[in-house]
């Protein structure tokens, strides 16, 4: 069997689907891995590393015509046209907003697996791409925020006097939020966190942060897979009101609250931002799904009375080496799940992992 790894051509994408370490494991299993020349270069993985691991350097056309294509981002129409009928694709396909791409793959006869749809069950944890890439985003959000802040994060005792530590609040305590809390704590900030899920309060405290508005945490606010449920308009209003007084004293706020397949919940209004001190910073990690802040614009920085509201996109691609390493291990584990002992693919639609991730060729309801 052949697995192809083409170079990512989506603007701003610098990750690679498989790194040399994963290619080496597949090669030992008897799989031929075709790496497009230069595919890993932007992530710090040269062609020589792939050759040493047992990979075969190839052209874009050769990589895309493999039995299984491993990509980071969804393929373009031109890339779909180069894929073989009856082949397979693994990528971040954004199925809820990529109907045209999925239709093209379906028409081409490609069985496509959306990495976003890995079920949140114990035996699929090592395939969870959303969690691995959220780890990168949570870490990088603190670095972006601290770089834009007009203050130090840690307390400093100097000959010129003592500098008080900055106050950081993280909204949403999923993987990205917990990483942001841990990173801000390592950098010496005084950190608080908020999440509507009951299980999150203990996780926030375990990292040395305080919990904001514990009275709004609900035992029934967690849905399937551990994700937060969408809140009613009344609940969202109560959360916004509770957070308003707390956020007025914050130097850096990082928001991470998202509901899979839906617009991000609105947690911070423009009126609340106007109560914050000029020079404060908000980093909204939900910018790509509408934002947790009212003025957030994806890919832009908005100034609200001297408060910077930053809406970063695709943060994982800004740290492509380690992001690719984690993504590659996720993909490798899923590929190993599909491989038979003979080195062929076994696509069992009845399997709780495989079936949940297929977005093309679904049987009629």
Q: Which residues are catalytic?
A: 120, 125, 128, 131, 227
**CA angle 340–49–45, rounded 5-degree value:** 100
Could you tell me which residues come within 8 angstroms of residue 245 by beta carbon, excluding any fewer than 6 positions away?
none
C-beta separation of 68 from 90 below 8 A:
yes
For residue 15, which phi and psi values (nearest 5 degrees)? -80, 170
Could you tell me which residues come within 8 angstroms of residue 37 by beta carbon, excluding any fewer than 6 positions away?
47, 57, 58, 59
Paired tokens of 158: 């100097």
Question: HSE on the CB side for 322, CA within 13 Å?
Answer: 12
For the sheet with 111-114, list strands across it: 56-58, 32-36, 2-5, 68-73, 88-92, 111-114
Cα–Cα distance for residue pair 87/106, rounded to 1 Å: 11
């Amino acid at each position: 069997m052949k697995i192809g790894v083409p170079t990512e051509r989506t603007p701003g994408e610098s990750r690679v689907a498989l790194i040399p370490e994963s290619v080496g494991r597949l090669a030992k299993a008897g799989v031929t891995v075709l790496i497009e020349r230069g595919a890993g270069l932007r992530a710090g993985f040269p062609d020589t590393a792939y050759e040493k691991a047992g990979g075969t350097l190839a052209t874009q056309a050769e990589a895309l015509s493999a039995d299984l294509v491993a990509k980071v981002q969804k393929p373009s129409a031109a890339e779909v046209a180069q894929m073989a009928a009856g082949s397979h694709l693994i990528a971040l396909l954004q199925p809820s907003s990529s109907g045209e791409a999925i239709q093209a793959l379906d028409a081409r006869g490609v069985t496509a697996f959306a990495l976003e749809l890995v079920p949140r069950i114990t035996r699929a944890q090592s395939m969870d791409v959303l969690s691995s890439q959220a780890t990168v985003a949570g870490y990088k959000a603190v670095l972006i925020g601290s770089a834009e802040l007009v203050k130090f994060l840690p307390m400093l005792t100097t000959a010129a006097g003592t500098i008080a530590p900055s106050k950081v609040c993280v909204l949403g305590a999923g993987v990205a939020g917990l990483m942001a809390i841990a990173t801000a704590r390592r950098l010496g900030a005084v950190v608080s966190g908020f999440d509507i899920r009951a299980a999150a309060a203990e996780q926030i405290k375990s990292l040395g942060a305080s919990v904001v508005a514990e009275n709004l945490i609900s035992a029934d606010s967690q849905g399937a897979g551990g994700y937060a449920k969408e809140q009613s308009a009344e609940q969202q209003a109560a959360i916004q009101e509770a957070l308003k007084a707390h956020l007025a004293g914050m130097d850096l706020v990082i928001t991470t609250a998202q509901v899979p397949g839906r617009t991000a919940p609105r947690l911070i209004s423009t009126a609340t931002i106007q109560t914050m001190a000029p020079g404060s910073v908000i980093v909204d990690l939900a910018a790509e799904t509408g934002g947790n802040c009212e003025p957030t614009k994806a890919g832009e920085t908005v100034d609200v009375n001297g408060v910077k509201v930053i809406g970063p996109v695709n943060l994982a691609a800004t740290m492509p080496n380690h992001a690719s390493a984690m993504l590659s291990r996720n993909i490798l584990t899923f590929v190993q799940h599909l491989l038979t002992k003979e080195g062929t693919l076994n696509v069992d639609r009845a399997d709780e992992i495989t079936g949940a991730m297929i977005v093309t060729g679904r049987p009629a309801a």
